[in-house]
């Protein structure tokens, strides 16, 4: 029997949630259009004298917006971004002309200092700390949505390591509240709503059900012979309490993993205290797996939750919040940028098998 790791895969996989997004999974060596250079190593120091985000240098950061548990002995701090991509001043009112339509770059851009230790990675943080971090995400999102009704989406994300575009070495996340809904969130929300209208079922819940189906056999209708045996459970990386980490069947990135609540929930703001602890655990364990397999993971992760927007008020049953983790192991090639087709050179089944095999302390 061949293991998924040995099998050569060369197929275009359609993202079940956003079908316009497809991925060329091509594991044959000759199909490898991009070559990952060894990424610049990440900064692993605990404390850096000159780092404005390190303890003792609090006076060097932009104004502090919040600190947890308190400013004096902070573990997590939120500060203004010195170079915000969006801000709430009105000094540059936008002017639209002809086809050159613009929307005010109104919004907020904040930096969340994840930890008082400079180069600590997510899998090295304690689970109570991670639970606090996720509760800070939740509370800040809620405050921002409440602060102004013109804000249509609050995006929380993290860039970790120079390969993932982190310009500040000290571990941090970012919160951007914006006057538009990002394209990819909009596509997920509208497509899952269409699926719900047709099937009366959340597509994300269906994907979880499929992932938890351990074997499916397809028989030939005429002869009754087995045509194909599929092990769908092979996409599960981790199951902790009320959460699951899945390797998407149509993964855009070689080591992409998604984390979802097992029970349906559309809005991350509704997460309970108990669930925060489970989320912290599944996150730490998944990151430890990625770090072990990649030998130091540099990644982006981002949170997709139901937008607080009148256009999507009817999507509570059809949308399902999740965290997408996208480790960076290569740079997009011209083929990918020109075609819009992602190329993934590691079969998601094989990647999942490797991630599952990691022994976690
Ligand atoms: Zn630092
Ligand atoms: Zn669901
Ligand atoms: Zn998403």
pLDDT in tens, 284-342: 999 999 999 998 888 999 999 999 999 999 999 999 999 999 998 877 778 888 888 88
CA of 315 to the centre of ligand 2 (A): 11
> What is the three-class DSSP state of 230?
strand
Q: Is 132 exposed, middle or buried (0-12, 13-18, 19+ CB in 10 A)?
A: buried
What's the Cα-to-Cα distance from 296 to each of 38, 157, 253, 292, 324, rounded to whole Å?
Answer: 11, 19, 16, 7, 18
CA of 106 to the centre of ligand 1 (A): 29
CA of 84 to the centre of ligand 2 (A): 34
CA of 109 to the centre of ligand 1 (A): 20
List all residues 6 or more positions away from 61 whose beta carbon is below 8 Å from its beta carbon: 52, 53, 77, 79, 113
Q: Is there a cis peptide before residue 360, judged by omega within 30 degrees of 0?
A: no
CA of 219 to the centre of ligand 1 (A): 58
281 in Cβ contact with 123 (< 8 Å)? no
Q: What is the pLDDT of residue 6?
A: 56
What's the Cα-to-Cα distance from 26 to each of 2, 122, 325, 352, rounded to whole Å?
Answer: 17, 30, 21, 16
Determine the Cα–Cα distance for residues 161 and 169; give it in Å rounded to an integer.
7
Q: What is the pLDDT of residue 329?
A: 82
**For 19-69, what is each residue's pLDDT tens digit?**
888 899 888 754 454 445 566 778 889 999 999 999 999 999 888 999 999
Residue with tokens 């907020």: 108
Ligand index nearest the alpha carbon of residue 119: 1
Ligand index nearest the alpha carbon of residue 172: 1
| E strand or H helix at 319 | none
Sign of CA dihedral 333, 336, 337, 338: positive
**Residue 42 per-residue DSSP state:** P
0.75 surpassed by pTM: yes
For ligand 1, a single-atom ion, the residues with CB < 5 A are 48, 51, 53-54, 118, 170
């Amino acid at each position: 029997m061949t293991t998924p790791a040995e099998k050569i895969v060369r197929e275009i996989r359609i993202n079940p949630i956003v079908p316009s997004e497809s991925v060329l999974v091509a594991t044959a060596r000759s199909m490898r259009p991009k070559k990952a250079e060894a990424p610049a190593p990440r900064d692993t120091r605990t404390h850096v004298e000159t780092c404005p985000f390190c303890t003792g240098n609090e006076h060097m950061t932009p104004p502090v917006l919040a600190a947890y548990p308190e400013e004096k002995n902070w573990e997590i701090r939120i500060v203004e971004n010195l170079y915000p991509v969006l801000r709430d001043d009105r000094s540059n009112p936008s002017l639209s002309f002809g086809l050159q339509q613009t929307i005010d770059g109104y919004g907020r851009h904040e930096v969340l200092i994840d930890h008082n230790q400079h180069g600590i990675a997510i899998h090295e943080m304690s689970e109570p700390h991670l639970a606090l971090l996720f509760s800070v995400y939740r509370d800040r999102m809620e405050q921002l949505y409440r602060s102004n009704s013109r804000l249509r989406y609050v995006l929380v994300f993290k860039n970790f390591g120079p390969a993932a575009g982190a310009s500040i070495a000290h571990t941090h996340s970012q919160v951007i509240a914006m006057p538009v809904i990002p394209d990819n969130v909009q596509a997920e929300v509208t497509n899952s709503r269409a699926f719900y209208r047709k099937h009366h079922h959340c597509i994300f819940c269906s994907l979880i059900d499929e992932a938890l189906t351990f074997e499916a056999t397809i028989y030939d209708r005429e002869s009754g012979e087995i045509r194909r045996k599929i092990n769908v459970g092979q996409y599960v990386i981790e199951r902790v309490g009320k959460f699951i980490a899945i390797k998407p069947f149509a993964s855009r990135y070689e080591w992409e993993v998604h984390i979802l609540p097992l029970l349906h929930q559309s809005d991350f703001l509704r997460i309970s205290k108990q669930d925060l602890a489970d989320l912290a655990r599944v996150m730490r364990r998944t990151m430890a797996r990625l770090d072990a397999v990649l030998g130091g993971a540099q990644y982006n992760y981002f949170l997709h939750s139901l937008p607080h927007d009148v256009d999507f008020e009817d999507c509570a049953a059809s949308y399902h919040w999740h965290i997408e983790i996208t480790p960076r192991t290569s740079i997009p090639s011209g083929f990918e940028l020109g075609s819009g087709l992602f190329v993934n050179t590691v079969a998601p089944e094989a990647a999942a098998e490797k991630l599952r095999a990691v022994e976690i302390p």
